[in-house]
A and B are shown apart, each in its own frame.
Chain A
């Protein structure tokens, strides 16, 4: 099984509060890991990707950061949430082969009030 766990599944936070979304992957080693955000049930925006422990690439300047403390763990964080951070956050993994597809977790829905 190559399962991706995301938690929490839903989260309601006030503006200015911190955020931590966690993603863990089972059944594979050295995966490439990704964080996407989906707004209003439409397109996906790539936020971060990681090819290994401690290696993070940021695609879009924003109020968020990511860390990969372990091979199968990918964390999305913010020190102070903005209203615009609301959305559906999806963690995904791929293998190292360029022909490999992405596999997604079930997502974390964040509402910032």
Chain B
């Protein structure tokens, strides 16, 4: 079965500092990994995905994520955080052996302090 863990409920960083939001996953087949952001009372917005190839994936709004197969991780990063990055972040996985379902992590609330 597929599963996704986001070990931190909350991450606080100061504006201008680098940020990392952690994600680990478990799948039986090839993992397809995704990051989404959600602002209050809005739908989820797609940030980036890893399918294959380069382990460092670049996405929207200056975010990037690093796929690490040995650690089964897909951490979201940004070199310099903005106050406007404060939101709820979700990691998701789709198992290559089970096509239709996306499994989401519980979410991590990011607060960027001015």
Contacts and interface: CB of A to CB of B under 8 A. Distances in A.
Interface stretch (A61-69, A70-78, A97-105): A97-105
B67 interface: no
A31 to B, nearest CB: 12
Interface in B78-95: 88, 90, 92, 94
B74 interface: no
Interface in B93-114: 94, 96, 99-102, 104-107
20 contacts: A4-B43, A41-B88, A43-B104, A43-B106, A43-B107, A44-B90, A46-B101, A49-B101, A59-B101, A90-B43, A94-B102, A98-B32, A98-B96, A104-B36, A104-B43, A104-B45, A106-B43, A107-B41, A107-B42, A107-B43
A32 B100 contact: yes
Contact of A44 (B32, B45, B96, B104): B104
A49 B100 contact: yes
